[in-house]
Chain A
Amino acid sequence: MTDAGHLSFGELAEYWTSDLSPDEAGRIEAHVFDCESCAHLLAESETVRTGIGALAQAGGFQAFVTESLLNQLAHDGVRVRSYTLDPGDRVPCTAWADDEVIVARLRADFTGVTSVDAEMRFETGEQWGRVTDVPVPEGASELLFALPADAVRAAPEAPMHLTLSAAPGTSGLGVIAEYVFDHRGARERTAH
């Protein structure tokens, strides 16, 4: 609730989740029907909700994801190409013209690790990307890193090193695993 007695954007956005009890939903509805500016904010939250859905369905995101999200992509007919890597693996990888999302299944021993940082570098040492505080659920044996096929197609054709390290301040220590993506650029299928 804001100082002016209105519902916040976050509270209103909860309206679109499955977490709301009927009572909570009723409370939001009663407030929104009586408050035009809150209705406007609720509409804005709805566009964010649908926008995120549309973006995901178009494969336009980069994130560490879960199996359930991959299942949803499959359900929606999104073309996903997966590469599975054990620690130390070097895989030739590419994105075909009709791929929409590329997923790297990064296997490692995550015992005692609750969160990791991931860094991607070219062999020259130039950093291509870095993310921090990737959650690791208990018992996990792999992390799923999804990125848009467009981004892979646009990346330079050069080996890319991905390093997973235990995030500072969390359980686990140092480098957990390293992988190499021998990036071969974009590929077109040709008729024979």
Chain B
Amino acid sequence: MTHCTAAATVARVTGPDAAPLHTLTDGALAHAVAGARAGEATAAESELYRRFAPRVRLYGLRHLRDRGAADDLVQQVMLVVLERLRAGEVRDPDQIASFVLGTSRMVAVGLRRTEARREGIRGRFELREPAVVAIDELAVDGARLGPCLAAAKERERAILLLTFYAEKGAGEIAAALGMTPGAVRVSRHRALASMRECLETRRSA
């Protein structure tokens, strides 16, 4: 991106005729951050953070299997992403999603390797409270989830409990229930779809 184009993007993002940030594409936001002088694109940075922090946290929850470590991952990754964008070191801001994912993979490897670093990171970086709380706002309380789990078919309820509580794979569940692994996965899909529908109904009610 040339300096002129970047400046035009920043003007679109921050100027009097600025489009609301939430309407911009991820790429446009990344360009805005990349083309801005220090302190000029705070709103765009915040919006970028709001969008990607929850995704990085989900990645961290799967790969690090610890909420604290996932939160650390968010802070590290978003810091790297914003710094690299500001420094003009992201080759293609239009592909910012790939860049954030790649950075998440790289940082997660490091976090897994040196668990001891975690404590230091908390003290070193004091980013503003991230938007990752958005995930927890979705929290399904037991009062809604309990009846939905109870409403599931017996076989599907067993599969959900074995999958998400006992953390068993389809092969092991299949052996325990006298099914095939494929049938377990199909039943699980069906059960999850029903659970979601039930939760949605209770949420609206």
Contact = CB atoms under 8 A, between A and B. Distances in A.
Interface residues of A, number: 59
Interface of A: 8-11, 13-19, 25, 29-30, 32-34, 36, 39-40, 42-58, 60-69, 71-72, 114, 131-138, 140
B172 A16 contact: no
Contact of A39 (B58, B141, B160, B163): B58
Chain B interface residue count: which class?
35 or more
Interface string B9-35: 000000000000000001000000000
Given A30-B101, A66-B177, A133-B154, A10 B192 contact: yes
Interface string B79-121: 0000000000000000001101100000000000000000000
A118 B192 CA distance: 24
Given A51-B145, A53-B164, A56-B165, A30 B98 contact: yes
A72 B150 contact: no
Given A10-B192, A61-B146, A53 B177 contact: no
Contacts of B168: 18, 68
Contact of A55 (B59, B101, B142, B185): B142
Contact of A68 (B61, B172, B189, B196): B172
Interface stretch (B37-45, B122-130, B132-140): B132-140
A19 B176 contact: no
A45 B193 CA distance: 10
A67 B79 CA distance: 46
Interface string B185-205: 100111011011001000000
A137 B165 CA distance: 20
